[in-house]
Structure 1
Amino acid sequence: METPAAPLPKDERERHILDNLTVIRDKLLLLKRDRTKYIRTQDVMELYDQLVGQVKELNEIRKGEHRENRLDKVLESCFQLVSLFFMTIGRTTEVPAAYALTSTIKRLMDHLTEAGLFSPKDLDSIAGTLSKLDGILRNDETSPHSPFLVELLAHREELCKSMLANLRKRLDELDLPLQAVYERLISIMRSMSLANTKSKFSTNEVQKLQGKLKEIEATIVDGGKFRDAEGNELRGSDVVSDLLRRCLLWSETVLERKGEIPEAFVDQYNTLTGIRNELEKISITQAWSLRETDLYDFQRELDKIDEARVDGNWLDQDGKPAELYVQRTLLYLIRRSYGYIYYLMMSSEPVSEALLPIYNQLQTLKRCLIEVKSSGGLSSVRELYPYSMKLNSIDNLRVDGKFIVGNDVPEGQGSVSELLAECFDLSYELKVAVEELEEGGNNSSDQQTAA
């Protein structure tokens, strides 16, 4: 796997650690690529312990001194992989699992800050995730991990919180009615960017979005001012007016270019649309198809393209920067892809991939039983038989109350057992309800017969 260019360590001891880290990273990559068997907790923990051992040696050498060389790049790759492995084996609430998530949040925050285009929903989602990370770091006292990792995550979290606070300030400068207009403009801008990157460009779709912009424009009075019912200028009027102007200009540009990318940047565009489309597909079927470690390859490719920018833009072979249309299009695809990665990480279940087939079946059963209950229940006990048979077949897979895969007891036993119990409870409630219904019907028939 490519590692971003960086100088080799000058210290011979660091070079030795670099060699060891390279071996650990390669073992992690081999384990990630092996689809012939489930990833086992013991295999991950063995490599994680080796990684922590190397970090301890590195800390003793550097003694708090900050350096940046190839060792740090390989170390980052190792932690990123280990983090995704922790998600894959179901240990999603432990510190190592949070590493990859903080990396993605930092990317998202950088892009939101750079673009200056974000909605309250964006900020609320990230704030909620940072709050969960707080809990993970606090709970680490009961299952301590590498102090280096805990300190690194705490620093990243504080940095993201600071960036989040700055973005919130910018929204707070808008009066409440304008915040709603601002959010609508952001939504329209993103919809236009999506239409601009579809395989088949739809002029009609973009024109409809442009029409929505003109509806908002019609509410402006006195040369670009938003006012309340009493005629007072709303706070933040200039900010929203400027965003509206940008949206209208973008709509004209998109309609003019119709998704056509210059030859010099077609390769980056095709790579990014391919990543975006693949992540979108995974996000729809993630419960059945995602192995969290797969996200590593997407991240590496995105990071590589994102970090190839010079002063915020890409250069062609002659060193000329991409025009604004190309820059915005590529940045949209990168940000959208990071957004999907963030969503997939947040959707990771606290269950090992070895138990995911059972867990997903129970999730489906639960949804079916809830739907049956909310739509009026069953008309006879016989209709409950397929659900009962499936639940009993899953329950019978347990040995001494645990689900065994091979000779292993995978992570997530509590989550699967809890879900199984919920399904049995729902099944019992439906059974009681239908029996009461049948009993009521029988009593009514007996009364009619007696009459």
Structure 2
Amino acid sequence: METPKIPAPRDEGEKRILAELMSIRDQLQLRKLDRTTYVRTQDVMVLYEKTIEQVRQLNVLRTGKKSEENQVDRVVDSCFQLLSLFFMTIGRNNEAPAAYSLTSTIKRLLDHLDEANLFSAKDLASIEHTLERLDTIVNNTKTKEPAPFLEAHLASRIDRCRETLCALKQRLKEYDEAIIPSHEKLVSILRQMAAINTKPKFKPEDINKLRAQLKDIQSQTVDGQFVNAEGKPLAGNDPVVALLERCQKYSDVILDMGGRFPEQWKVIYDTLTGIRNELDKLSLTQAWSLRETDLYDYQRQLDKIDENRVDGNWVDAKGRPADLYVQRTLLYLIRRSYGYIYHLMISSEPVSEALLPIYNQLQTLKRCLIEVQNNGGVSTVRELYPYSMKLNSIDNLRVDGKFLVSGDIPEGQGSVSELLSQCYDLNYELRVAAEEQAENEKSETKDDNE
């Protein structure tokens, strides 16, 4: 984190602040590693307020002075990255500090989309929605947050993200609607090929299937051009044709490499595939196994590898740049990993990890009840007993309407109570439907007897 590129502070006041911030960061790191107890809101808030105070002092110290980025700025960033993930862990997702880490990831994603020139409207729509939500959170926090500089900093980060997003959206606006399906298909194919290329076992037949799809798209062109009814090239023809050629050439290279990877780049490749695979597993088991602070280490590893590039590429021990195949493969792995981190962050529930076991049980119970309802309900009320018993057992955990954990009242009480209420409503609807069905059957039987 404190590389030679980032100088140490010269000012004595900044040196003192650096020492305090490093102590706070160490405490956050230790708390992150402790899995024996749940993260408590009060523990996080104490460290958050200490960080805010040090940043306030730093701003006062730098007022009217010209300052360059030094180690203090890097440690401030580390503290806020960790605190942001801790806010998610304790369920305070809808407060400004929680937005800090997410804006960092969004900026990385947007920069990579810009650099690769490989994106679709669907990619941008999700990010735009998230930025709007973060903007609302930051604006709503202004009346409560005692750290105006953090609000201003977050607002600035969101604005920078939005500028890049608008530039990317503008590129897509230049495409004719008729060519967009082909463009989106090519983006998907290129990403699928990159994924196949980085699997543990390489299967040429998977690439050949995608090459067949490329031929189908190629067949839609006239003399290599995407044209309209009058035979004139559609708006966006040139970049889409270039993307088609890029896909074709990439498939040739992948088949030629046959799953092999140059030895001098194997260490970084193995590191990135390891990160990608771990994040993939987390995305499948997120509700039960993810503590948001776990994402910090993945972020830092990816940031370090990404920032080691020279003019957009990596160089080996002898100063030789990676060839295009290596560069694109490594960049795909980095982008995919940032994508997983983004997905895990936006999927984080506004519920403290202390309440997550109860929340997850209710989520599962709700899905089961909806499934029963969608498949015709139950034939007798007796079939609902297991669901009713589970609901009552969870409801009985409340003390004065609150779910307590080790004497604390964790964040997310409203979300858990609302979910419990939804389960009760579904259970009640199924019971009423079963009773009505039983009454109807009873009446029909009575009529038949008469």
| TM-score above 0.5, yes or no | yes
Counterparts of 1:391-430 in structure 2, within 5 Å, are: 391-430=391-430
Partner residue in 2 for 1:210:
211
Q: What secondary structure sits across from 1:438 in the alignment? A: helix
> Contact conserved, 1:88 with 1:293, CA < 8 A, in 2?
yes
2:192 aligned with 1:191, yes or no? yes
In the alignment, is the contact (CA less than 8 A) between 2:377 and 2:434 conserved in 1?
Answer: yes
Q: Which runs of 5+ in 1 are unaligned?
A: none
Please provide the CA RMSD for this pair: 0.9
d(CA) in 1 for partners of 2:348 and 2:397?
Answer: 24
- Equivalent residue for 1:282? 282
- Equivalent residue for 2:271? 271
Indicate if the aligned counterparts of 2:313 and 2:321 stay in contact, CA closer than 8 A: yes
Match in the other structure for 1:298: 298
8 A contact 1:4–1:73 mirrored in 2: no
Counterpart in the other structure of 2:361 = 361
Equivalent position of 2:54 in the other structure? 54
Displacement after TM superposition at 1:138 (Å): 1.4
The AA in structure 1 aligned to 2:74 is K
* Residue in structure 2 matched with residue 166 of structure 1 by the alignment: 167
1:226-265 equivalences in 2 (<5 Å): 226-265=226-265
**Following the alignment from structure 1 to structure 2, what is the Cα–Cα distance between the partners of residues 60 and 235?**
53
- The CA deviation string for residues 272-293 of structure 1, in whole angstroms up to 9 with x for no partner, is 0000000000001100000000
Q: Indicate the SS of the match to 1:283.
A: helix
Residues 264 and 316 in structure 1, CA contact (< 8 A), matched pair in contact too: yes
Rounded Cα–Cα distance in structure 2 between residues aligned with 1:63 and 1:338: 35
> Quick one: distance in 1 between partners of 2:368 and 2:325?
47
Shift of 1:229: 2.6
Counterpart position of 2:383:
383
Output the amino acid matched with 1:162: E
Deviation at 1:259, TM superposition (A): 2.3
Please, which moves more after superposition, 151-160 or 213-222? 213-222
1:225 is displaced (CA, Å) by: 1.4
Please state if 1:42 is matched with 2:54.
Answer: no
Per-residue CA shift, 1:193-246, capped at 9, x if unaligned? 000000000100001111111111122213x21112332321111111111111
Shift of 1:66: 4.2
Structure 1's consecutive aligned runs of 4 or more residues displaced over 3 angstroms after TM superposition are 2-5
- 2:117: which partner in 1? 116
- Judge which range, 323-332 or 212-221, deviates more: 212-221
1:311-343 C-alpha deviation (Å, 9 max, x unpaired): 111111111001110000000000000000000
Q: Indicate the SS of the match to 2:124.
A: helix
The equivalent residue for 1:85 is 86
Q: Is the 8 A contact 2:142 2:151 kept in 1?
A: no
Q: Which amino acid aligns with 2:330?
A: L
Aligned to 2:76: 75
DSSP 3-state at the match of 2:391: helix
8 Å contact from structure 2 (residues 39, 90) kept in 1: yes
Question: What TM-score results when the alignment is normalised by the length of structure 1?
Answer: 0.98
Deviation readout 1:10-58 (Å, 9 max, x if unpaired): 1000000000000000000000000000000000000000000001100
Task: Name the structure 1 match of 2:15.
Answer: 15
CA distance in 2, matches of 1:15, 1:190: 46
Asked if the contact 2:183/2:240 (under 8 Å) is kept, the reply is yes
Q: CA deviation at 1:269?
A: 0.3
1: CA distance between counterparts of 2:236 and 2:300?
Answer: 39
Distance 1:408 1:3 in 2: 38
Q: For 1:146-185, what aligned pairs fall within 5 Å after superposition?
A: 146-185=147-186
SS of alignment partner, residue 230 of structure 1: coil
Deviations 1:105-162 (A, max 9, x none): 0000110111111111011111000110111011113421421211111111111111
Question: What TM-score comes out, normalization by structure 2 length?
Answer: 0.98
**Does the 8 A contact of 1:18 with 1:74 survive in 2?**
yes
